[in-house]
Chains A and B, each alone.
Chain A
């Protein structure tokens, strides 16, 4: 990806983060916003992206919908880190039977497709955002862990690691500082960006189909799309804006992650 593409990707991710912060302080009321008299208004100075067919502001719903995936996405990242990072790092550093057992566990979890595992977890434990986030983090941990194991396995016999041992640096410090922080942080960031993209796709897909995910009147980019499906003569921005937001955010997260890999950081 070009430098410009990477910059655009970073700008989109920053904009999403700002939308999330704005939604937390805005006090926008999703119930009080229903004004049928303003239904289907096209974008104008009064309504930036117009209104949907219940007269609700598309722009405010778009901003508020970032709550559906940014916070839970961060929780999913924390879960994936908590599970994948220590196990993956230890397996890579120690090798042998530890690596064998950890690799087997990763193979077991990743044998069930992520989406299927999350759906089953939602069915058993409920489809609240925190359940979705924990299940997504659990299903993503093998990807992060396996990537770390492979990288650390390749690095553990390199000169800089041997030098830390010769200088009497503890194994914990070598692993945590020299290997994980200095040599693998970009790899971890790349995996977390993939997880963010996965969580957004997961949440919007579930909310679009309905039954799981975010339910109306709470906004999600997925249920905003579903809400406008089959409405003739309405405001095209009401479906185009969430569609574009999903597309751009996923493209930005994957694009920035790919840039890290292409530049050899991860």
Chain B
């Protein structure tokens, strides 16, 4: 009991320390720029007096970073300078993050489900199928989105021209908001940039190890069904793979939202970076770090719960 509690506490402390470090890192990137960061802003001269007070420019750098962190912990990430001038960053981030979180979670679940099915199909055999999955899924997400949009638009336009179908409400992608566009984003994220290939390869390795393990052999000898046993033993590695994919999916989300003209946190980050709206960009970077470090913590704690051997290992 104590060992498990200590292991969980160590991981929680590691999560908090990582998050604080990530907040410092993104702040440091801005403050390490040559000159004054306010000079980088398009309307810097106009905003200078207010920003000097808000950002604590008269304070030494460590103090400035500390002030930002304390404000961030109280949910105060500053106000937007260019994307929606004067609006609190927190109120901008909330709806955008909620939209993106849905896409992200569905993409992760789809990727894991497809990988599991493929791993059950291949499980150490069928090298051609494995190679095909690897080859098809290394395509960057923007390229997959481009090809899918191009293919769907061209095929639909041909059918509309031939009078076979009426013009669909989603036509032409990606201009119209539709569930098809959302579905495409989820599919592209789940499959592209090696997402499916890497998850499949990792799960297949684990599956083969489980199927060759002594307990699987014993279960086979007793005539027990293997599916439940296999899935139970695959759960910890499945969670580990899911945790590892989160940063890649977050990066892909930025591009997918821009390519498919979606209105989420990724598109907001792009806009904030383009317009040099640093409070918004910093807030989104910290939210991304929170998602990555949080997913690592959740995965670690869940694996601790599922696999008693991990509780003995020093965190």
Contact = CB atoms under 8 A, between A and B. Distances in A.
A204 interface: yes
Interface in B136-183: 138-143, 146-147, 150
Given A112-B26, A251-B138, A2 B276 contact: no
A197 B137 CA distance: 13
Given A111-B18, A111-B292, A243-B146, A201 B247 contact: no
Interface stretch (B53-61, B91-99, B248-256): B248-256
B273 interface: yes
Contacts of B234: none
Main secondary structure of the interface of A (DSSP, over half): helix
Interface in A67-121: 104-105, 107-117, 119-121
Contacts of A218: none
Contacts of B258: 209
A2 B270 CA distance: 40
Nearest to B284: A116
B292 A254 contact: no
B140 A115 contact: no
A123 B254 contact: no
A25 B21 CA distance: 45
A168 interface: no
A205 interface: yes
Chain A interface residue number, banded? 35 or more
A2 to B, nearest CB: 7
A180 B138 CA distance: 29
Given A107-B21, A110-B247, A116 B140 contact: no
B139 A247 contact: yes
Contacts of A113: 247-248, 250-251, 288, 292
B97 to A, nearest CB: 13
Contact of B139 (A112, A212, A225, A250): A250
B285 interface: yes
Interface string A157-196: 0000000000000000000000000000000000000000
B308 interface: no
B193 A201 contact: yes
Given A125-B33, A247-B143, A251-B138, A115 B21 contact: no
Contact of A201 (B17, B140, B276): B140
Interface in B212-260: 247-248, 250-252, 254-255, 258-259
Nearest to B201: A258
B274 A112 contact: no
B211 interface: no
B134 interface: yes
Contacts of A117: 26, 29, 285
Contacts of B274: 123, 211-212
A207 to B, nearest CB: 10
B293 A111 contact: yes
A179 B18 CA distance: 30
Contacts of A121: 29
Contacts of A255: 134-135
Given A112-B288, A114-B247, A116-B285, A246 B33 contact: no
B138 A120 contact: no
B251 A208 contact: no
Contacts of B247: 110-111, 113-114
B209 interface: no
Given A112-B289, A112-B292, A258-B134, A120 B140 contact: no
B254 A124 contact: no
30 contacts: A1-B134, A2-B127, A104-B21, A108-B18, A108-B22, A111-B19, A111-B293, A112-B22, A112-B285, A113-B248, A113-B250, A113-B292, A114-B251, A115-B252, A117-B29, A119-B269, A120-B285, A123-B272, A123-B274, A124-B37, A124-B276, A208-B142, A209-B142, A209-B259, A239-B150, A246-B140, A246-B143, A250-B139, A254-B194, A255-B134
Nearest 9 CB-CB pairings of A with B: A115-B251, A108-B21, A123-B273, A113-B247, A111-B22, A113-B250, A111-B289, A113-B251, A201-B140
Interface of B: 14, 17-19, 21-22, 24-26, 29-30, 33, 37, 40, 127, 131, 134-135, 138-143, 146-147, 150, 193-194, 247-248, 250-252, 254-255, 258-259, 269-270, 272-274, 276, 278, 281-282, 284-285, 288-289, 292-293
Given A117-B26, A209-B258, 19 more contacts: A1-B134, A5-B131, A104-B18, A107-B293, A108-B22, A110-B247, A111-B293, A112-B288, A116-B254, A119-B269, A120-B273, A121-B29, A124-B30, A197-B138, A205-B142, A209-B259, A229-B150, A246-B139, A250-B140
Interface of A: 1-2, 5, 104-105, 107-117, 119-125, 197, 201, 204-205, 208-209, 211-212, 222, 225, 229, 239, 243, 246-247, 250-251, 254-255, 258
